[in-house]
Amino acid sequence: MKIMYFPDTDTALIEFSNAAVDETKEVSEDIYLDLDNKGNLVSMTVEHAREKANISEVSFHQIEKVVA
């Protein structure tokens, strides 16, 4: 996964895979999802990222599988 932020346009691009984009769906006025030809998520674009996604603070936490 790769997260890129473009300050000149205040846009965040989160890439989940490097598959070819087949379709882009508009979730809201500022959020777009890119899907491959099987409907899998490829990337997400967030416009006005500072306001909509609190892009100033990003962290990653991997949760370990809990064995019962």
Task: Give pLDDT, residue 65.
Answer: 81
- Supply φ then ψ for residue 62, to 5 degrees: -95, 125
Which of helix, strand or coil describes residue 12? strand
Query: What pTM was computed for the model?
Result: 0.80
Please say whether the beta carbons of 41 and 24 come within 8 A. no
Q: Where are the domains of the chain?
A: 2-53
Do β-strands 2-6 and 11-15 pair in parallel, antiparallel, or remain unpaired? antiparallel
- What confidence tens digit (pLDDT) does each residue in 21-35 have? 999 999 999 999 999
- Residue 43 gets the label, from left (phi > 0), alpha (psi -120 to 50) or beta, of beta
